[in-house]
Structure 1
């Protein structure tokens, strides 16, 4: 069978890339050996025999490999090597049987692809582009193009959201598509049509927002090797160059990619893309402090909220470390009865600028109750506020007319006891150490990463009203009457840990009347030399006073200046 023209240097580079993508030490070693032998082969009989021996060993290992990913990497590397031997007319006596074995692996990969799994797509693209003559390869070529197109169409929204839970799954899948595209371009052309190319480009732009400050994918155990995400950054910078090379990304995104890959240019001082991403229909929001440039007090603060499922997925990362990653769970009892969500999450509010970002989602709890969940990010301060609220639905909602009195400002509240337990999942490599006498929890791995404060509870452990523990995540238990607000304040600036720290619930007044906590709450937080004010109404917004500050909004966060004045950072009406 005639192979497409393959140079030894190119084959060696591709085999080395497969080695870098492997997670198994023995596989990496074997493929690197093959890459060296192919790239440096003098082409004599002895060197060809050695190469064919290593190819056979790769195929033997692929056949017995428990990991499908490692199997397809071994098959891909073997295909590059045998294609170079065939195109250079240096094939030895075993080359024909080796190619037959590779074609048999192609048949197995095609069956996997038919079941909707595109994991072997990269191997199949290499096989079908380098060996075009076999009838089976022509069938596989059509199948792999169709499989990739269907997967991208089903997972990527028009805004570029990728419908997979968590940054590792999302970025990993987009990187897989990008690697397939790179192989296809190197061996002939794009593996999909123009519509799919546009969807892929939108997904790449979204995935870039989830990389760490060094351009790495972040996992619970730390950052992954650079090879896992290198294809994304290279695609952003190089896509669109050359005939038939597909999409070309906007200059701002290319500048951002070079910052992440630590290859900035002198002219990269221009405009950067928006760091945040929000697709309300897809239920995905990414909040990012920036792209690693100057002026970021906390480098690479990034939050992901995915609320497509009953239990939203939450991630908080700083620089190259995940602090929080996983399902943000909750349990609610009202009047002694367990309550569950009676409908899907919907976006109630979204605002974002350079000083603050605010996302609130809401879902019905039944019996006129509503569950609100919001995330606030103050990028310049390195603060993330993750909070839940249990309130009454407004009278315009189904069944809400009889609950109109609950929203009448100083009107009577429902008297049901509320028991709330929320668990924010910590990243696998992170440890948490509660303070001995107070309720803050310090987060650390090899160094201190930040701290978490339960603002709705008394600062001292002797206080009643709930608990805040580090068992299986950060678990906040809080009780209330009628309505309840349960906030957790993450300070992601490690330099403030160990300094002066305190928080207090404040008095909220309405027409000179002190309001109970079921109507509105306010908190004062001090860490180091900095202080903040947080305010949340739990009934209808009215003109009220907290810490000498007049508020008429649903939510407010501001910085308290040295003379006691409040500088408003974010106000949600």
Structure 2
């Protein structure tokens, strides 16, 4: 028997189209999110006849401190130079002796910057110098013109670096353009905006989603665009690109938010990366969307529980896209996946909190009767569903002989369960036995980042240790639980790689791998069993349909997958007519259907 509480969705075949859906699974058009920018000072007066913007001492000191805080690492010599400059400006008075310390600090910053090389630290020194020099200009102090000439030379070097593809000098060039309207050799706003817009178009889709992984370079690019835009606005230039690029940038900021880990940090190997996401989080805090503000606050927070109230959809998969992002929630310790299938070799990242667990190529290879099968077309999204109970993603690619390669990711946020499945089917065409290969040989691997794997001595269970407190259990459901039993496959650790392989007959095959992500269940008794699937009182073969029962402590789950044409069948007393089912087994024997795909 089956009970209510189900989520039932239809599944498209390869080559089909599917309407974009929101996080609750309902069809809806994409909604624009308005993000407010930091307040601009574009309307402030400029010094009469000088072409230099009129700015206050306190504002300049604050800007220089902000620039120093953004430099990585924080113990870089450029940080100390800019902090000294900010203190000198804060203590100075135009026309007073306090400007002597400012002049000395300016000279040290420019001398250090002139030594090169073209690094973010160099351009940060120049940017801080530009702000201080704009304030000092009104003092008519002797020697200031020489500093301006030095700054113009730095601007020329920054322009060359920008045109060479380096976005780090963009904030400096925009600051110079906003503060010094008549600086010799200044770069035009249109030229800077064109470079930034081209970079945005190259790395993001129209909606701002990443075109490719990994997550780290994408977030770094979003931060570079955001810093450039902020520099343009605060210096008085205004937004440096057109409306379509502005919409793309806003979408990229939301995509970057989905990729952040605990406390708003960028996940990395062994802990968070050194990237500072504060420019993004500052923008989200001023957004006019309560859901976006609430989501950003939850990502920055320290609470393990998900925030109360509406948030933005935690998953991001759009029709025609080649990158999928799935999350369990927005609280501390959330699990996040990124799958890049833009190329034949897929990149997979699995993150918990702010630590990378899996990162690299999610390997895949299949032989049919000893002949390698290679996709004859691109991988595309076949089905995507997301609601509070489950996230389901399936991508497919055509294979020779009418076969189809399928990869599924199922994430249960409340149950803290992840299932990765590779399958070979005939795409529902019901090819006759003579038209299908007799034997399928499947191979795959998962590269580990920080996690260490160990295997149980008696069962085929693997354990992943992540840091000091996280322990995941990995189960190859297609194989017998006990190592003493004969198996046509294996799942083993090989250094920092999980390797799995399996053989099947009948021309169709499925190999699901179950990840228990809940560390509180790490020491509970565990077992799994393959189930008999019956159709009209006849047990089906493994190339027709498969079913499994997983039990961890008192909790039990039922997993079913049809490999041929779905129709009415029975397993463990549960009647199914769908292609995919995942649900919980209650004590009464009923199945609470968490996710059902037709």
2:119 matches 1:68? yes
Distance 1:356 1:263, change over 3 A: closer
Cross-structure match for 1:82 = 133
Q: Distance in 1 between matches of 2:245 and 2:382?
A: 32
Deviations 1:110-140 (A, max 9, x none): 1232234433211211121121112422x34
2:546 matches 1:514? no
2:310 matches 1:271? yes
Deviations 1:14-44 (A, max 9, x none): 3333333222322333333333333334568
Name which of structure 1's ranges 312-321 and 382-391 shifts more when overlaid on structure 2: 312-321
Q: Distance in 2 between matches of 1:120 and 1:193?
A: 20
From 536, 540, 545, the counterpart of 2:570: 545
Q: Give the TM-score normalised by the residue count of structure 2.
A: 0.83
From 477, 486, 496, the counterpart of 2:521: 496
SS at match of 2:263: coil
Cross-structure match for 2:198 = 150
Deviations 1:320-339 (A, max 9, x none): 33322333222222222222
1:153-192 equivalences under 5 Å are 153-188=201-236, 189-192=238-241
1:431, distance to aligned residue in structure 2 (A):
2.6
1:46, distance to aligned residue in structure 2 (A):
6.7
SS at match of 2:454: strand
SS at match of 1:231: helix
CA contact (8 A) 1:110 1:143 kept: no
Deviations 1:494-538 (A, max 9, x none): 111122122222222222222222221111112232111111111
Cross-structure match for 2:441 = 419
Distance 1:533 1:85, change over 3 A: same
Q: Distance in 2 between matches of 1:386 and 1:505?
A: 17
Cross-structure match for 1:220 = 269
Deviations 1:207-250 (A, max 9, x none): 2222224222222332245x7211112112325xxxxxxxxx42
Cross-structure match for 1:245 = none
From 338, 356, 360, the counterpart of 1:326: 360
Q: Where do 5+ consecutive residues of structure 2 fail to align?
A: 1-49
SS at match of 1:218: coil
1:22-37 equivalences under 5 Å are 22-24=71-73, 25-27=75-77, 28-37=79-88
Cross-structure match for 2:292 = 253
Q: Distance in 2 between matches of 1:332 and 1:65?
A: 52
Cross-structure match for 1:433 = 454
Q: Distance in 2 between matches of 1:432 and 1:122?
A: 44
Q: Distance in 2 between matches of 1:269 and 1:350?
A: 25
1:173, distance to aligned residue in structure 2 (A):
1.6
Q: Distance in 1 between matches of 2:382 and 2:503?
A: 24
2:171 matches 1:122? yes
Distance 1:228 1:509, change over 3 A: same
1:329-408 equivalences under 5 Å are 329-395=363-429, 404-406=431-433
SS at match of 2:432: helix
Taking only aligned residues, the RMSD between alpha carbons, in angstroms, comes to 2.7
1:378, distance to aligned residue in structure 2 (A):
0.4
Q: Distance in 2 between matches of 1:276 and 1:509?
A: 35
CA contact (8 A) 1:48 1:92 kept: no
Q: Distance in 1 between matches of 2:518 and 2:167?
A: 41
CA contact (8 A) 1:220 1:325 kept: no
Ranked by relative contact order (alpha carbons within 8 Å, sequence separation 6 or more), the top structure is 2
From 581, 584, 590, the counterpart of 1:559: 584
Cross-structure match for 1:469 = 492
Cross-structure match for 1:480 = 504
- Paired positions, count: 539
Distance 1:30 1:490, change over 3 A: farther
Deviations 1:463-519 (A, max 9, x none): 432222233332222222222212221222111112212222222222222222222
CA contact (8 A) 1:455 1:488 kept: yes
Q: Distance in 2 between matches of 1:389 and 1:90?
A: 75
Cross-structure match for 2:189 = 141
SS at match of 1:354: coil
Q: Distance in 2 between matches of 1:33 and 1:455?
A: 62
Q: Distance in 2 between matches of 1:501 and 1:46?
A: 76
CA contact (8 A) 1:49 1:92 kept: no
Q: Give the TM-score normalised by the residue count of structure 1.
A: 0.86
